[in-house]
Amino acid sequence: MNRSTAREIAVHFAFELAFSDEKAQQLLDRELTEESFAQRSREEPMYAGFPDEGELNYITRLVLGVGGHGAELDGYIAKYAKGWKFYRIDRVASAIMRVTMYEIMYMPDIPNKVAINEAVEIAKSYLDDEVVKFINGILGSFVRSELPEQE
């Protein structure tokens, strides 16, 4: 497994949080097990290998961060999704943007351009080109407006 795969798994878990009353730690306790990964790997090849300690920490940090900062992250998405009501934004797109915005704001060791590029690559696997452009535009506007010193 690599960091890109770990990030995509974090997006999966962030997506699941949006449909659940479960707390992020509860979801992680249930899903970050070898048994869960073995079961998921039957339908999703990225789960074939269980994460190492660094990858587990990375996934955990992202999912707990998204869980703990969800309202803040959703506020930024709504702010930069000009002309869109938040509830109309695709939930996969929202999960990708939440994870990426969390990385940008709270994980300074990851360059903004890398986080955005990874978001776009994940989005290409799940969403059509228009939604991918939408995500890229929101994330770019977010960084330019909220963190111009990091641009």
Give the span between the Cα atoms of 76 and 150, in whole angstroms. 17
pLDDT at 127 over 70: yes
User: What is the dotted CATH code of the domain comprising 3-150?
Assistant: 1.10.940.10
Give the span between the Cα atoms of 5 and 53, in whole angstroms. 14
pLDDT at 117 over 60: yes
pLDDT at 150 over 80: no
- Using 50, 70 and 90 to split pLDDT, how confident is the model at 82? confident
* Token pair for 10: 């974090």
Q: What is the pLDDT of residues 43-81, one digit of tens each?
A: 999 999 999 999 999 999 999 999 999 999 999 999 999
Q: Where are the domains of the chain?
A: 3-150
Q: What is the pLDDT of residue 147?
A: 83
Give the span between the Cα atoms of 1 and 6, in whole angstroms. 7
Count other Cβ atoms within 10 Å, centred on residue 25.
Answer: 13
Compute the average pLDDT of residues 108-131.
Answer: 95
Q: Which amino acid would we find at residue 37?
A: F
pLDDT at 83 over 90: no
Cα–chain-centroid distance for residue 136?
13
DSSP code at position 88:
G
Compute the average pLDDT of residues 12-28.
Answer: 94
